[in-house]
A and B are shown apart, each in its own frame.
Chain A
Amino acid sequence: MQNLLAPGHRACAGCSMPTIVRLILDAAGPNTIVVSPTSCLEVTTTPFPESAWCVPWLHSLFENAAAVASGVEIALKRFHKEANVLVIGGDGSTFDIGMGSNSGMFERGHKVTYICYDNEAYMNTGVQRSGSTPFCAHTTTTPSGEISLGNPRPKKDMPAIALAHRVPYVATASVAYPVDLRRKVKKAIETQGPSYIQVNAPCITGWTFEAGNTVEIARLAVETGLWPLFEYVNGQLMEVKKVRRPKPVEDYLKSQGRYRHLFKKPGGTEVLKQIQAIADANISKYCLVD
């Protein structure tokens, strides 16, 4: 495995993000230019005068990674050069503040591979809710409290938004399935046009769990049906990762502190049923069970 992300970066011990990035860069290779928005990734990998990146890398701002990547891609075209152009950014910039910029890049059809490592909140600034935060997860701006059971809104369906833009390759991936992730990145960079991959990225600090359990939790997300692994090519659902015997969502939820309140507070049981319904809907929609 080629290591294009050097050690010495400041990510939390056990963070899924550097592993995801290493896998992405291993698949993409050194002929790659990466643009990242403001994020945990950017802050932990580029404290001046150090950088963990062994490929060319550019910080955009928070809301414009896709636009900056469009500029990189168009300049490559202008100078008759070829290189993979990737955006690697978090869910905060992807789902919320960068929506306009993403929409523009998708719609203009740039050959940019947009990879969102999704830890389901604004982690860099201290675990605030984003459009990606799942139903009833605790964050600092949607905390569980005397009269609250956490985030009241469902998770934004970003892959559906990409599909609505006719993005030719849209997929979900997970740090717990590294071979699958690498394969999807390779497919994305070969796509003649934009692509979108959303990677489940458990966060120790934000989700509250023991450092070593990172990959196991990501695996549980897939095994419960809450994080379906699928692939759309030109708008058609092509591949899903089947789940032989889906585990109940409780197995996943009780492993993390951000859902702890659902097992203690009144109304929690009802929420657990609703979350199970989300998982069941995924299992049905994507035919996750044979």
Chain B
Amino acid sequence: MSKVKAIEFVEPGSTQITKTGAWRTFVPRIDQKKCIKCSLCEIYCPESSVHQVKDPKSGDLIFDIDLDYCKGCGICEHECPRHAIKLELEEK
């Protein structure tokens, strides 16, 4: 537990310690073959959990979801113009 100081200054971005991925019931999966890299999923994600990363296999830039924080809301599935994202019931 961090100590209380007289004045409550809090460090920027410190909510990252809380992994809201634990809230999830449904998990999104991106079909990279359908993805046109429009980045709408990245723009709309409330958890800033969609990122452009390098695919370890192909070296291409792909969109990936940070499952530490994704709450499984489904906005990305809904907004993807190519229906490349599907939410599935997550096995825990």
Contact = CB atoms under 8 A, between A and B. Distances in A.
How would you classify the secondary structure of chain B's contact residues: helix, strand, loop or mixed? loop
Contacts of B18: 8, 10, 50
Interface in A17-32: 17-19, 22-23
Given A6-B16, A7-B16, A49-B10, A215 B78 contact: yes
Given A16-B46, A50-B10, A7 B77 contact: no
B79 A52 contact: no
A216 B40 CA distance: 13
Contacts of B75: 14, 19, 211-212, 214-215
A13 interface: yes
A84 interface: no
A142 interface: no
A51 B12 contact: yes
Interface residues of B, number: 36
Interface stretch (B29-37, B56-64, B66-74): B66-74
B14 A49 contact: yes
Contacts of A54: 12-13
Contact of A14 (B12, B46, B66): B46
Nearest to B23: A13
B13 A51 contact: yes
A216 B44 CA distance: 11
Nearest to B46: A18
A6 B17 CA distance: 10
Nearest to A49: B2
Interface of B: 2, 8, 10-20, 23-24, 39, 42-49, 66, 68-69, 71-75, 77-79, 87
29 contacts: A1-B43, A3-B48, A5-B48, A6-B15, A8-B15, A8-B20, A10-B15, A13-B24, A13-B73, A14-B46, A17-B46, A18-B48, A19-B46, A19-B75, A22-B46, A47-B15, A49-B14, A50-B15, A50-B18, A51-B11, A51-B12, A51-B14, A54-B12, A211-B73, A211-B74, A212-B73, A212-B77, A215-B79, A216-B78
